[in-house]
Copies of this chain bind each other. A is one copy, B any other.
Amino acid sequence: MVQPASNPVPCRDCPIRQRPCFREFTPEELAFVQSFKVNELVFEKGETILVEGTKTAHLYTVLSGWSFRYKLLEDGNRQILNYALPGDFIGLQGSVFENLEHSVECLTRVRACVFPRDKLWHLYSSYPDLAFDVTWLASREESIIGEFLANVGQRRAQARVAYFLLHLFYHVRQSGLAEGDACFFPLTQQHLSDTLGLSLVHTNKTLKRLYDLGTFEWSAQKLRILNEERLIEIAGQQPSPPKVRPFI
């Protein structure tokens, strides 16, 4: 069950905002964001935040937890588009188009700020720098999905897996959630295979090969990068480092 958070945090004191990966806000921007925020919700693991094909009345900023965006094909296959970590923005597409073209599901319990769609217009008319930030975030999504497309379209299984593991690890690290060369990692192999366009079995065998090469460890939802250089070499290219981003 989705629940309102018991102890919502004022934006000014938001612990996430302090992180160096986010650009700083002026007091006015902060005040607006505070007024933009109407609620704070908690979704449980496995719950669906947004559903493909529906209209949404809300936008979300993730405060904690992991979720992923995906499309369901008519034959039942699933393509995962991207993963959302704390600080990421969810549901913009639903506020911009008539209806959503993907769903969002929680990998863990997720706590998120809620913004009403109809106030987005106020943001655009009064806070052009925030409006620009929203565009920036949309562009960033596009850029990440473009990287994934190149990954899936042009790389073989082993390179594809190596590239994605690094990409996601870099994203986690930039969000301030890594501990050295390790991080929490709540995906299953099924998620990996739906992200990479590989079968589950082949994903498993490919992971084993990379594991046997001593490049990483993964168990009990913990991922540890053991040989980053080697992974980059196998991937054929280093995933682009995440950028400092706005946090709305």
Asked whether any CB of chain B lies closer than 8 Å to the CB of A74, the reply is yes
Question: B146 contacts A71, CB within 8 Å?
Answer: yes
Asked whether any CB of chain B lies closer than 8 Å to the CB of A116, the reply is no
Question: B150 contacts A71, CB within 8 Å?
Answer: yes
Q: Chain A: interface residue count, which band?
A: 35 or more
Per the bound structure, the CA–CA distance linking A124 and B102 in Å amounts to 28
Per the bound structure, the CA–CA distance linking A132 and B186 in Å amounts to 35
CB proximity to B under 8 Å, residues A153-206: 153-155, 195-197
Question: B97 contacts A139, CB within 8 Å?
Answer: yes
Asked whether any CB of chain B lies closer than 8 Å to the CB of A38, the reply is no
Contact flag A92-B146 (CB < 8 Å), given A77-B154, A97-B243, A154-B77: no
CB proximity to B under 8 Å, residues A78-122: 78-79, 81, 92-93, 96-98, 101-102, 121
Asked whether any CB of chain B lies closer than 8 Å to the CB of A236, the reply is yes
Q: Chain B residue with minimal CB distance to A150?
A: B79
Q: Chain B residue with minimal CB distance to A80?
A: B153
Question: B124 contacts A125, CB within 8 Å?
Answer: no
Complex interface: chain B residues within 8 A of A196 (CB): 153
Q: Using an 8 Å CB-CB cutoff, how does the interface string of A25-60 with B read, 1 for contact, 0 for none? A: 000000000000000000000000000000000000
Q: Chain B residue with minimal CB distance to A142?
A: B142
Complex interface: chain B residues within 8 A of A213 (CB): none
Complex interface: chain B residues within 8 A of A132 (CB): 96, 121, 124, 131
Contact flag A101-B236 (CB < 8 Å), given A79-B153, A96-B136, A128-B124: no
* Residues of A near any B CB (own CB < 8 A): 71, 73-75, 77-79, 81, 92-93, 96-98, 101-102, 121, 124-125, 128-129, 131-132, 134-136, 138-143, 145-150, 152-155, 195-197, 236-237, 240, 243
